[in-house]
Structure formats: structure tokens, C-alpha cells
Amino acid sequence: MFETIRYEVKDTIAWLFLNRPDSLNAFVAKMNREVKDAVKKASNDEQVRCIVITGEGRAFCSGQDLSEVDEKMDHGQVLRDHYGPMIKQIRQCEKPIIAAVNGVAAGAGFSLALACDFRVLSERASFLNAFIHVGLIPDSGNLYYLSQLVGHTKAVELSILGEKVNAADALKMGLANKLYPLESWEEDVTVFAGRLAALPTKAIGLIKRSLKVVPQLSFEDYLEYEAQGQRIAGLTKDHREGVAAFMDKRKPVFSGQ
């Protein structure tokens, strides 16, 4: 049902492969839509407890396909119509989303990785805020997330100088969570995704929800928000399982319920 991506669910993990390797997985409007639809599908699939976005071939995603850009293009409208809905769908998702960055993530490809909860890197991964090189500003939520992740100083540097960041530097800078060697890349990603999928999924969703509102709420309002979140978590089977396992001195088996 998808043309620009490949979507498969294995065990409890939804894999979303950007699948335009000949153009380094560059975005065309259709790919924006398909990523959005796939994330929505995975969000609604009760079997799925973790989502991995990665690229086919040697790149993660090279950003907007420039062959689709012409003088008549209203760049703002393209964001409203295509990129915005995709990024919002990712932001709404209450399941953990990993960007498994297998190669270069440039432009909107970088933005896509930033919108995910975790970025795990192959030794071949790199980030490039390429927008400045074509006279544009980082889009698709890029600066919003980037400034949160690496702070103002680095966000300015990466966006205005537009220099490539290799995997090791990205990890040091706080842009990523893990760096895996090439030989075991696929296996390491699978293990990490499996680990996330085995955690209490509802609590993960509530943590994501809470982190999102932090910048908008006063401390007092946040404490009320947190109380509601904990009330919901306190009603889950996984909470009961966690407490029971602790009492029994055994490993908990979480169901995501």
C-alpha cells in the first residue's frame, strides 16, 4: 500500500523504511504523506509498542527532493500541507519512536530525526542542517527541537554555518542517544527497539505527553498535569505488574496495558 516507504510490523516493533534509495531517500510530497500515514497506522495498532524509522540504502534521508522545487513553489504552503502534518503526526504519537540513522540525515531528513524520541546512530550517520546552503531556514520543527536538544549556542552554529556533524560528535553534543558499530548495526537497533517495546508503553506515552507541555505550563499547572498523568499510570496493569514483580523479587513482564 506504500510506494515511497516500506512498512512492516515484526513482533511488537513497527519498521518504517524510507525507500527512495536512488535519491538518498529524499522527500517528495508522497513520502511526507506516507510517513504520516504509517506513523498513524503504527500508533493505532495495538500490537505495536515501538516504532523505528530508518533509511534504505546508504542514506537516512537527504531532505526535500530538489527536483520538485521550482520558482512557483510557495515554500510556506508546502510546509503547511506536507511537512507539518507529518511532523505533527509524529509529535502526537504516544509510542516510543526511534530514528535509526543509518547514513546522512540532511535538511528535512535531519528534522525528521529530531522529531523522534531517540536517535541511534550508525558509524556512517551524519547530520547536516543544509537549509542555509540553499538560502532557506531549517524547517519541519527543526529549530524548535534542535534548540531544546543542543541549546542555543550549538543550534545557532549548526543552522547558520551548516557544517556536517559526524556520528561521534553528534553523540557528544547530545544530538543522539547511541552509536553502534557498522558490523552489528541492524542487530543493535533491533535489540534497542525490543528493549523499548518491552517497557510499560502507557507510561512512556504519558512521559512523552508531560515533556511536551513543560514549556507551556507554569510550575503549578505542571504539577496538576503530572498528578493527572500519574493517576492514569497508576491505573495500568503494568504498574501493578511492576509492583508485584518488585515484591516477588522477579523481573516484571509488561504488557503495555
Partner 1 sequence: MNSFDFIETSIESSVAIIELNRPRQLNSLNRKLVSELVEAMEYFDRDDQVRIIVLAGKGRAFSAGADIDEMTDDDPISLELLNQFADWDRFALIKKPLIGAVKGFVFGGGFELALCCDILIAAGGTEFSFPEVGLGVMPGAGGTQRLTKLAGRTKALEWLWSGERISAEDALKYGVINKIVAPELLMEEALKFANRLAKQPPLSLRLIKDSVNKAVDSSLSEGMQYERKNFYLLFSTQDQKEGMNAFKEKRKPDYRGK
Min separation Cβ 95 and partner 1, Å: 16
Are 231 and 209 in contact by the 8 Å Cβ rule? The answer is no
Nearest Cα residue to 52 out of 88, 11, 82: 11
Minimum separation from the CB atom of position 222 to partner 1 (A): 13
Query: Given the rule CB under 8 A, which of 98-106, 137-145, 161-169, 228-236 is the region that contacts partner 1?
Result: 228-236
What are the backbone angles phi and psi of residue 94, rounded to the nearest 5°?
Answer: -100, 10
CB-CB contact of 128 with 107 (8 Å)? yes
Among the candidate windows 55-63, 75-83, 179-187, 223-231, which touches partner 1 by CB under 8 A?
Answer: 223-231
Footprint of partner 1 on 149-168 (CB under 8 A): none
Please give the Cα distance from 101 to 98 (Å, whole number).
9
- Out of 232, 242, 245, 255, the residue judged to bind partner 1 by CB under 8 A: 232
- In the complex, minimum distance from the CB of residue 74 to partner 1, in angstroms, rounded to a whole number: 20
Tell me the closest approach of the beta carbon of residue 147 to partner 1, in angstroms.
Answer: 22
Alpha-carbon distance of 246 to 257, in angstroms, equals 18
Residue 5 phi, psi (nearest 5)? -130, 165
- Please pick, from the candidates 10, 80, 231, 240, the single residue that binds partner 1 as defined by CB under 8 A: 231
When asked if residue 229 is in the footprint of partner 1 (CB under 8 A), the reply is yes
User: Cell for 152?
Assistant: 542555543
Binding residues vs partner 1 (CB under 8 A): 209, 228-229, 231-232, 235
